[in-house]
């Protein structure tokens, strides 16, 4: 929720302070703590899937932490994850038609619960076979084995201007920066220490990259809306920063560049019907191509699997809205 002190009416400059919190409405907490207990599925669910890892089909057992296969690789009873959230912000309104806001946040999560590494390299497979698990080639289980922190800020601005004799132009801009980092991770299971395993910790590459790099740090939008009588139009620019991913190979990390998309719409409002036509991703922008063989499945999957804006290209639409009652 966001709580703001009332801003002055009229044309004088005003500043409103604001704190952002995840607590219940009506409270003001620039600092808060929280916890999340393990879910039933994280504690008890079990299943086996067939994964393609480095071009090979491998039967992966996703087991509870008390399963013997999990305990071989150091699984421990799950406990609750805890968090500390610090946040603050302000809103600035120098004139009636302009508003500017800033929010900053810092979130630390300790003993984070997530699915750990896939213990499926040749060393792990030999250990599983020697332990009587000949039908599976890899093991995964949930763990509390890492801490993370998230830092970032949101900046927004809105400007309303007259345009022509009776038109109005609304300009809105938003910028977000969010950085996720792993601050602690448990070491390699004892049974794998001192062996020729490819793994270095309880996190595999795809999980580490997924937490820290798979979502762009930077995201921005700029929107212009023009209305004049019954006519209305919209133009939007969306920017997604660069990111990295190790999907779907689970073995190869690749970097992908940032992209900018454009949306546009025009429409006319009749007495009770509003007709619009528009385009999303007007210039048919696609994410970068993965270069690693196992990330493009031998060129059968040509786009970055973790792209934040998808890989469907341009989308054209027509929309009709009818108001039955005035």
* Range among 15-24, 27-36, 193-202 with highest mean pLDDT value: 193-202
Task: Reply yes or no on whether the pLDDT at 20 is more than 70.
Answer: no
Return the pLDDT at 285: 96
Query: What's the confidence (pLDDT) of residue 22?
Result: 37
Mean pLDDT, rounded, for 137-164: 94
**Confidence at residue 326, expressed as pLDDT on a 0 to 100 scale:** 63
pLDDT (0 to 100) of residue 248: 82
Is the predicted pLDDT of residue 173 greater than 90, yes or no? yes
Kindly report each contact of residues 306-309 with a partner whose C-beta sits within 8 Å and lies 24 or more positions away, as own/partner: 306/210, 306/214, 306/243, 306/245, 306/247, 307/256, 308/215, 308/216, 308/219, 308/240, 308/243, 309/238, 309/240, 309/259, 309/261, 309/281, 309/285
Q: Cβ contacts of residue 165 below 8 Å, gap of 6+?
A: none
- Calculate the alpha carbon distances from 203 to 68, 69, 244, 269 in Å: 20, 17, 16, 55
Strand 47-53 and strand 56-62: the pairing is antiparallel
Q: Tens digit of pLDDT for each residue in 215-238?
A: 999 999 999 999 999 999 999 999
Report DSSP letters for 254-307, one per residue. EEE--EEEEEEEEEEE-SSEEEEEEEESTT---PPPP-SGGGTTTTTS-S-TT-
The two three-digit tokens of residue 40, written as one number: 């039933």
Task: Count other Cβ atoms within 10 Å, centred on residue 65.
Answer: 20
For the chain, how long is the longest CA-to-CA vector? Answer: 83
% of the chain exceeding 70 in pLDDT = 89
pLDDT surpassing 60 at residue 21:
no
- pLDDT tens for 105-147 read 999 999 999 999 889 888 999 999 999 998 888 999 999 999 9
Q: Which of the four pLDDT bands, split at 50, 70 and 90, describes residue 54?
A: low
Q: Judge whether residue 304 has pLDDT over 80.
A: yes
Q: Could you check whether the bond before residue 248 is cis, i.e. omega within 30 degrees of 0?
A: yes
For residue 9, pLDDT beyond 50: no
Q: How far apart are CA 218 and CA 240, in angstroms?
A: 6
Asked if the model's pLDDT at residue 3 lies above 50, the reply is no
Q: Is the pLDDT of residue 38 over 80?
A: yes
- C-alpha to C-alpha distance for 162 and 169, rounded to whole angstroms: 6
pLDDT top residue among 27 and 96 = 96
Q: Which residue has the tokens 């920017």?
A: 239
How many angstroms separate the CA atoms of 272 and 109, rounded? 51
**C-beta neighbour count of 121 within 10 angstroms:** 21
Nearest to 144 by CA among 221, 80, 212: 80
| pLDDT exceeds 50 at position 6 | no
Question: Cα–Cα distance between 91 and 97 in angstroms, integer?
Answer: 14
**Closest of 68, 71, 66 to residue 190, by C-alpha:** 71
Would you mind telling me the total number of residues written for the chain in this entry?
Answer: 326
C-alpha to C-alpha distance for 273 and 252, rounded to whole angstroms: 52
Query: In the structure, what pLDDT confidence band is assigned to residue 244 with cuts at 50, 70 and 90?
Result: very high
Highest mean pLDDT among 9-18, 159-168, 275-284, 317-326: 275-284
pLDDT at 53 over 60: yes
**Average pLDDT rounded to a whole number, residues 284-304:** 84
17 and 100 Cβ atoms separated by less than 8 Å? no
Burial class (CB in 10 A: 0-12, 13-18, 19+), 250: buried
Token readout for 307 is: 């792209």
Q: Which of 52-56, 198-202, 225-229 has the lowest mean pLDDT?
A: 52-56
279/316 Cα distance (integer angstroms): 4
Residue 52 confidence (pLDDT): 73
Q: State the average pLDDT over residues 9-34.
A: 49
In the chain, % of residues over pLDDT 90: 63
Is pLDDT of 160 > 70?
Answer: yes
**Looking at the whole model, is its pTM more than 0.85?**
no
Return the number of other C-beta atoms located less than 10 Å from residue 74's C-beta. 20
Residue corresponding to tokens 């995840």: 22
């Amino acid at each position: 929720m966001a709580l703001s002190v009332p801003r002055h009416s009229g044309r004088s400059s005003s500043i409103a302070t604001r704190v952002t919190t995840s607590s219940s409405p009506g409270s003001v907490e620039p600092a808060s703590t929280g916890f999340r207990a393990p879910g039933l599925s994280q504690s008890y669910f079990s299943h086996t899937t067939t994964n393609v890892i480095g071009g090979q089909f491998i039967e992966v057992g996703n087991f509870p932490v008390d399963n013997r296969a999990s305990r071989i690789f150091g699984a421990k009873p799950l406990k609750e994850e805890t968090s500390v959230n610090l946040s603050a912000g302000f809103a600035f309104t120098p004139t009636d038609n302009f508003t500017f806001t800033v929010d900053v946040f810092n979130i630390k999560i300790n003993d984070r619960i997530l699915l750990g590494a896939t213990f499926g390299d040749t060393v792990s497979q030999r250990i599983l076979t020697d332990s009587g698990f000949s039908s599976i080639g890899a093991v995964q289980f949930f763990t509390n084995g890492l801490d993370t922190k998230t830092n970032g800020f949101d900046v927004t601005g809105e400007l309303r201007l007259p345009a022509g004799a009776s038109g109005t132009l609304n300009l809105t801009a938003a910028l977000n920066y969010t950085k996720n980092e792993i601050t602690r991770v448990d070491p390699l299971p004892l049974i794998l220490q001192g062996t020729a395993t490819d793994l270095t910790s309880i996190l595999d590459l795809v999980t580490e990259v997924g937490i820290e790099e798979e979502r762009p740090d930077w995201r921005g939008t700029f929107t212009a809306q023009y209305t004049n009588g019954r006519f209305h139009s919209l133009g939007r620019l969306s920017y997604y920063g660069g990111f990295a991913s190790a999907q779907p190979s689970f073995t190869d990390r690749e970097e992908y560049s940032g992209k900018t998309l454009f949306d546009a719409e025009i429409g006319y409002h009749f007495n009770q019907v509003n007709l619009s036509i528009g385009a999303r991703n007007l210039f048919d922008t696609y994410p970068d191509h993965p270069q690693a063989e196992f990330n493009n499945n031998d060129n059968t999957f040509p786009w970055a699997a973790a792209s934040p804006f998808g890989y469907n290209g341009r989308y054209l639409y027509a929309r009709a809205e009818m108001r039955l009652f005035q």
